[in-house]
Chains A and B, each alone.
Chain A
Amino acid sequence: MKYTWLPLIALVAPPVQAVEADLAGILDLRYSVTDGIDSYVNGGLGKFRYNDGDQLSIAQAGLAGKLVWDNNLSLHAVANGYLDGVEDGLGLTEVYLKYRTLPSAGGLRQGLRLGIFYPAISLENNATAWSTPNTLTPSTMNSWVGEELRSTGLEYTAEWLGRFSGRPYDLKLQGSVFVRNDPAGAELSWHGWMQSSRQTLLHEKLPVQNMPARQTVLSKQAAFSDPFHEDDDRPGYTLSGEVKFPRKGLLQLGWFDNRAIPYQQTNGQYGWRTRFGWAGFRWKLPGRFSLSGQVMQGDTLMQKPSREDVVNNDYRSGWLALSWSAKPHRVTGRVEEFSVTDNDETWGDNNDEYGKAFTLAYRYQLQKNWFLLSEFNWLQSTRGGRMYENQPVDLVERQLQFASRYYF
């Protein structure tokens, strides 16, 4: 276009800094029947958030409030509550300030987030209060993100919107610097991967499993891990990129490193040097189908002050989901594979794990805001460390869940 873009519009509205308040929420009432062992949430080695048996629960009462100013600045706070017969809780999960520009003439939009927020990893948890719209339970990979990962810091985002320059794709690059996530990796090592919609509240501490090494080399470890603790005042970082083809799909690639000093310990909270890469995609297929998936692979290291390894684990988890939708119905099937490889020689702390999981979820939209969901979970895992608790090393856990979800 060769038009000169002269001033065209004068706003009639007075130039006041208006602020707009917005409140969104989710109420998930759930009935679940679980065939398994004591939940990891209580310090057990069960892979689900519910204990063996049936349970009526408020699986999630989430509120996401924001104040939005006209100058592209907004303040966000997300609170979640759980009344689930396992670990009831109420508190904040995220609080941050966000600034986002308008796109430039070339389509570049920049953004900053400052505060406490989820690292932008999950492709499943993209609804109000970090809920999963298509399933009741996120994959093992993203369940761990919800349990042990939270960034306290600054995140920068640059997006190039393709339509401004006639390109068929949008490009996003993101980088963050964060503190207060040094013990991340402890729970993944000690209870392994799990499949759970329970997010850790910012004030919560997580029980540490009772393996024999707690009496010996891990005697200084606190009984509860504080995943959002800072040990060494050394910030970690994330770097990630995403290519999005509007209405077709997206590809993502990222790297996380908390840069914790692994031989430091304060208040019984060790630094765990946790690093991983992740990749994911989402793609629309013909016939109302869409396919999505993510993989994560990394390692975590925790040492004695003498710098000898106490826990040295590699881990990986991946999921692939096929979803079919024709309003008001949506059916999603998901398969997963996960592992933890224990590379250290520590006695009484076997973290080796291998497992597979299958999830089948059905969502029915009853009204604009009201959804009914049902979900079946099947999770098979082999974990030598379960013998410390006199539990079977090879275990299949199953769960059937029915939920009413109200979003506003």
Chain B
Amino acid sequence: MGKLKQGVTVAVFSSTVLSTVVVAEQLTVSVTAAQGKALADIVVFAEPLDGPAPASQLTAPLLIAQKGKAFAPYISVIQRDAPVRFVNQDGITHHIYSISANNRFSFRIAAGKAQQVIAGAGEKDELATVAMGCNIHDWMSGYMLVLDTPYYGKTDSQGQVALTVAQPGRYRLNIWHPQLQTPDHRMRQELSVTGKMNISFQLADPLAALPEQTGEDDFEFLEDY
């Protein structure tokens, strides 16, 4: 439920911000598995090829909760330089880290506390995945995708997401998921966007198994003996 809600929020947000722009083109993207089943929680983003992407308009931080000893949502997507807030909703401390080889980050968040960071204050890159874990609860696994474009969303339960771009023109449309079994865990296509368009992606191979976000034991007061 959390994943779905977040995905919808981002999609709605994109359209809200960009509805102030007079000319707006709408892309409706559908993602299906090989057998045609709709796939939810797939990141979809469009990179403009004719010019620079608009800067992030986000003011409220993106929330990544630690809830039930799991990242909620499992996948977050955000534009570079936007704020991200890690909120520990559990009654225990978490020790969040990224295993990024060039920039490991880590911080402890006590029960009920939060920690805010800025996404992508470093060098620009066409696509950056932050794989996150918790050094106390080894099964916790989460991803944050940091993009250089404000045109992104996650597919809903119907496997669909609507992206509204400011300008007609050429775009590279991508889908990404950490369990997508393709190079870079993504698929892409270039297209000229004019008016309303429906684009679909169909996976050749099934998604790899999602990591199970549960602990070893139902007893909450275990120690590291």
Residues of chain A whose beta carbon lies under 8 Å from any beta carbon of chain B: 1-13, 18, 20, 22, 24, 26, 64, 68, 70, 72, 100, 102-105, 109, 118, 120, 122, 125-130, 133-134, 161, 163-164, 170, 246-247, 325, 327, 330, 368, 407
Whether A7 pairs with B110 at a CB distance below 8 angstroms is no
CA distance A246 to B222 in the complex (A): 16
Determine the residue in chain A with the shortest Cβ distance to B211.
Answer: A163
Whether B108 pairs with A247 at a CB distance below 8 angstroms is no
Whether A170 pairs with B138 at a CB distance below 8 angstroms is yes
Q: Does B184 contact A (CB under 8 A)?
A: yes
User: Could you jot down 23 A-B contacts, CB within 8 Å?
Assistant: A3-B127, A5-B128, A6-B103, A7-B122, A8-B98, A8-B119, A9-B98, A9-B119, A9-B122, A9-B130, A10-B117, A10-B118, A12-B117, A22-B93, A64-B223, A70-B107, A103-B133, A105-B99, A128-B223, A134-B219, A246-B138, A325-B218, A327-B218
Given A8-B130, A70-B108, check contact A127 B125 (CB 8 Å): no
**Which of B118, B212, B217 has the most chain A CB atoms closer than 10 A to its own CB?**
B217
Whether B118 pairs with A9 at a CB distance below 8 angstroms is yes
State which size class the interface on B falls in: 35 or more
CA distance A7 to B101 in the complex (A): 9
- List chain A residues, Cβ under 8 A from B212: 246-247
Whether B222 pairs with A127 at a CB distance below 8 angstroms is yes
- List chain B residues, Cβ under 8 A from A8: 98, 100, 103, 119-122, 128, 130, 146
**Which of B83, B123, B220, B221 has the most chain A CB atoms closer than 10 A to its own CB?**
B221
- List chain A residues, Cβ under 8 A from B97: 102-103
Q: Does B194 contact A (CB under 8 A)?
A: no
Given A6-B123, A246-B138, check contact A1 B129 (CB 8 Å): yes
- List chain B residues, Cβ under 8 A from A134: 219
Give the secondary structure class of A's interface. loop
CA distance A180 to B211 in the complex (A): 44
Whether A7 pairs with B123 at a CB distance below 8 angstroms is yes
- List chain B residues, Cβ under 8 A from A1: 129, 184-185
Whether B222 pairs with A133 at a CB distance below 8 angstroms is yes
Determine the residue in chain A with the shortest Cβ distance to B118.
Answer: A10
- List chain A residues, Cβ under 8 A from B100: 5, 8
CA distance A330 to B217 in the complex (A): 12
CA distance A118 to B223 in the complex (A): 12
CA distance A134 to B218 in the complex (A): 11
Given A22-B93, A70-B108, A247-B216, check contact A9 B120 (CB 8 Å): yes
Contact with A along B89-126 (1 / 0, CB 8 A): 00001000111111111111010000111111111110
Whether A12 pairs with B118 at a CB distance below 8 angstroms is yes
Whether A102 pairs with B125 at a CB distance below 8 angstroms is no
- List chain B residues, Cβ under 8 A from A7: 102-103, 121-123
Contact with A along B133-148 (1 / 0, CB 8 A): 1010011010000100
Whether A368 pairs with B146 at a CB distance below 8 angstroms is no
Given A100-B135, A102-B135, check contact A11 B107 (CB 8 Å): yes
CA distance A40 to B207 in the complex (A): 59
Determine the residue in chain B with the shortest Cβ distance to A166.
Answer: B208
- List chain A residues, Cβ under 8 A from B146: 8
Separation in Å of the B170 CB from the closest CB of chain A? Answer: 23
Give the secondary structure class of B's interface. loop
- List chain A residues, Cβ under 8 A from B122: 6-10
User: CB < 8 Å: which of A2, A5, A109, A246 contacts B216?
Assistant: A246
CA distance A118 to B60 in the complex (A): 48
CA distance A18 to B121 in the complex (A): 23
Residues of chain B whose beta carbon lies under 8 Å from any beta carbon of chain A: 83, 93, 97-108, 110, 115-125, 127-130, 133, 135, 138-139, 141, 146, 183-185, 211-212, 214, 216-223, 225
Determine the residue in chain A with the shortest Cβ distance to B129.
Answer: A3
Separation in Å of the A64 CB from the closest CB of chain B? Answer: 7
Determine the residue in chain B with the shortest Cβ distance to A109.
Answer: B135
User: CB < 8 Å: which of A68, A120, A130, A170 contacts B108?
Assistant: A68
Whether A5 pairs with B221 at a CB distance below 8 angstroms is no
CA distance A209 to B45 in the complex (A): 76
**Which of B116, B214, B216 has the most chain A CB atoms closer than 10 A to its own CB?**
B216
CA distance A6 to B133 in the complex (A): 18
User: CB < 8 Å: which of B101, B104, B106, B221 contacts A133?
Assistant: B221
- List chain B residues, Cβ under 8 A from A13: 107, 115-116
Separation in Å of the B10 CB from the closest CB of chain A? Answer: 19
- List chain A residues, Cβ under 8 A from B219: 127, 133-134
Separation in Å of the A162 CB from the closest CB of chain B? Answer: 10
Separation in Å of the A165 CB from the closest CB of chain B? Answer: 11
CA distance A246 to B214 in the complex (A): 10
**Which of A10, A164, A407 has the most chain B CB atoms closer than 10 A to its own CB?**
A10
Whether A103 pairs with B103 at a CB distance below 8 angstroms is no
User: CB < 8 Å: which of B101, B107, B135, B223 contacts A5?
Assistant: B101
- List chain A residues, Cβ under 8 A from B225: 118, 120, 122, 125-126, 130
User: CB < 8 Å: which of B117, B128, B138, B141 contacts A11?
Assistant: B117
Whether B102 pairs with A127 at a CB distance below 8 angstroms is no
Determine the residue in chain B with the shortest Cβ distance to A326.
Answer: B218
